[in-house]
Amino acid sequence: MKRKNRIVVVGGSAAGPKAAAKARRMDSEAEVILIQKDPELSMASCGYPYYVGGFFDDRNMLLSTPTGVTRDPVFYMNAKAIEARTSTEVTRIDSAAHTLDYRNLLTQEEGSLEYDKLILATGAVPRMPPVPGTDLKGITTLQSMRDADYLRKVRDEGIIKKAVVVGGGLIGIETCEALHLAGIQITVVELLPQLLTFLDWQLAKLVENHVKSKGADVITGSRVAAFLGEDGRLAGVKLDSGTELPCELAVIAVGVIPNVRLARDTGVTIGETGGITVNEYLQTSDPDIYAVGDCIETVNRITGRKVLAPYGDLANLQGRVAGENAASDNTITFPGTIQTGICKVFDFSAGSTGLSEHAARNLGYEDIVSVVNASPDKPGFMNGQLLITKMVADRKSGKILGAQCVGPGNVGKQVAQWAMAIQGDLTVEDLVNSDLPYAPPFSLAIDHFIATAHIMQNKLKGRLKGISAVDVKAKLDNRETPFFLDVREPEEFEETRLGIGETLMPPGALRKRLDELPQDKNREIICYCKVSLRGYEAALVLEANGWRNVRVMEGGIMAWPYPKEK
């Protein structure tokens, strides 16, 4: 009697279980087997920092369905008719024979299994800095449930007082907050000149300022030279500058590497990025083997280039596609990624989608234009919170290339809207009259998203001559002397000001005091206010009265990432 079609999935974190479940839904008769090296299945790994930070206390919530049922082998068999084998490692794949060898890590029992279609979801492994001391006790990553359990134990015991987080990316920043909430003194060390490299420097600096305001320390542009130990335990971290940071705990969060050992040994093609090469159906170079999740490379939908995109949501989407294709002979495709991401940073959020300005320029995009918009997410009478968005577009076509947003407001909503605009190939002109849901509890009458498009439209049409805070600071550092015009009210000026030699001239008095402005109509004048809406209106007044070199500092004081006078 011919056995049923057998689909085997290797890897049980995010992409693997999704692939297995989709394959079962597509083929109720197939034999679906899920093999997982770890003891747990379908772990919500993006939730690890929040478990460590005490946002919830029940560890099982990381392994459960929305209704609270634990996703264990019994659940998979009873609810989905999927045979899930945990604590089991696949040691070898014979693609010619369509078999794989495995070993049970608890009993050391070995065996072999035939497959018709195979889906690799082997994930990624943490990248470790090539420096002495990484084997000391007290050094960990936050990649597995075991890591999360260890750090949660650290939190609950309350013994450790100082920790260093190595890496200022998504996991590093989330871990910083989690440990800080446990009362641990945190220092984040980042090799690059900024945190969160998916942001441009100005917005990343605003995030850094917020992290520091919460009591954590941040050191950028520094490399870890060694981990220092006493009696086999971590005692400190030494930087390449010679600085030593005493600590009892170090969390390494410098990225991940695709786990492709099994795939490479099998003979499937590995791409230049280090991830498994797949086609639009998520097939590898072997048509009977699919691959999904953090172990693969995918296509950037904007640039067409191959990239690594180790995101939990993409892993689930890819698992769904591969599961369907393995069960139904390639009926759907996965189009790639625009690399959308977001993270919580204490009371801030920071998110981006598409290309940042520095990424676009590094990729050879030359004729691009950007704007910065600072404004609340909803009216002040509804307790609106600040959003600061930077948008990047192609100057000729007006096509949106990327957007990034930070602040205490509803960043997620903004980034989601930008992501859909990019995936829909929309232009600035498509966005300026967007019909979005409006009511004061949810947004401004002209949503921050649309207002950003309006600013870009004005810039593309030459109505707004903007300048970034970064470029303003460069002028100051070069000892240039623009005339800085602050058009806020006096009480605002007394509360906070930049202290860059500015002249205060409230908007209601501006037309009456034009004679106090530089009489050389070619002198550069830079206008700003809290968010630079009044700054833009002031610039229009000046231009109407003959000044020819007037610019607006985009985002105003709220987007200024440098120290202020007060």
3-state secondary structure string across 244-260: EEECCEEEECCCEEECC
Position 4 scores a pLDDT of 80
Residue 419 sits at the vertex; the CA angle it makes with 400 and 335, to the nearest 5 degrees, is 100
Residues 292 and 279 in one domain: yes
Per-residue model confidence as pLDDT tens digits over 286-323: 999 999 999 999 999 999 999 999 999 999 999 999 99
Whether residues 357 and 428 fall in one domain:
yes
Does residue 270 lie in a domain region? yes
Exposure class string for 355-381: b at 16+ Cβ within 10 A, else e: bbbebbeeeebeebbbbbbbbbbbeee
Whether 133 maps to a domain, the answer reads: no
Q: Is 269 contained in some domain?
A: yes
- The reply to whether 340 falls in a domain is no
Same domain, 276 and 309: yes
User: Which residue positions in the chain have pLDDT lower than 50?
Assistant: 1
Single out the residue in 328, 363, 382 at which a domain terminates: 328
Please state, in angstroms and rounded to a whole number, the distance separating the CA atoms of residues 333 and 335: 6
CA 420 to chain centre: 16
- Does the residue 66 lie in any domain? yes
Residue pLDDT, tens place only, 127-176:
999 999 999 999 999 999 999 999 999 999 999 999 999 999 999 999 99
Residue 337 lies in a domain: no
Q: What is the pLDDT of residue 329?
A: 87
Per-residue tokens: 265: 């040994």
Beta bridge partners of 111: 102
Domain holding 155, by residue range, is: 139-254
pLDDT at 518: 96
- Is there a domain that residue 17 lies in? yes
Output DSSP code: residue 557.
G
User: What gap in Å lies between CA 275 and CA 253, rounded to an integer?
Assistant: 19
Asked if residue 339 belongs to a domain, the reply is no
Q: For the CA atoms of 345, 351, 357, 361, what is the dihedral angle to 10 degrees?
A: 100
Domain final position from 254, 269, 294: 254
* Residue 483, φ and ψ in degrees, nearest 5: -90, 115
Q: What is the largest CA-CA distance in the chain?
A: 98
Domain check: are 472 and 449 in the same one?
Answer: no
Nearest to 41 by CA among 62, 22, 26, 68: 62
Distance CA 66, CA 502 (A): 55
DSSP string, 163-224: EEEE--SHHHHHHHHHHHHTT-EEEEEESSSSS-TTS-HHHHHHHHHHHHHTT-EEEES--E
CATH of residue 364's domain is 3.30.390.30
CATH number of residue 205's parent domain: 3.50.50.60
Among 26, 83, 9, CA closest to 295: 9
pLDDT at site 2: 60
Domain count of the fold of the chain: 4
Tell how many helices (H) and how many strands (E) occur in the chain.
15, 30
305 with 415, same domain? no
Classify residue 276 by its DSSP letter: B
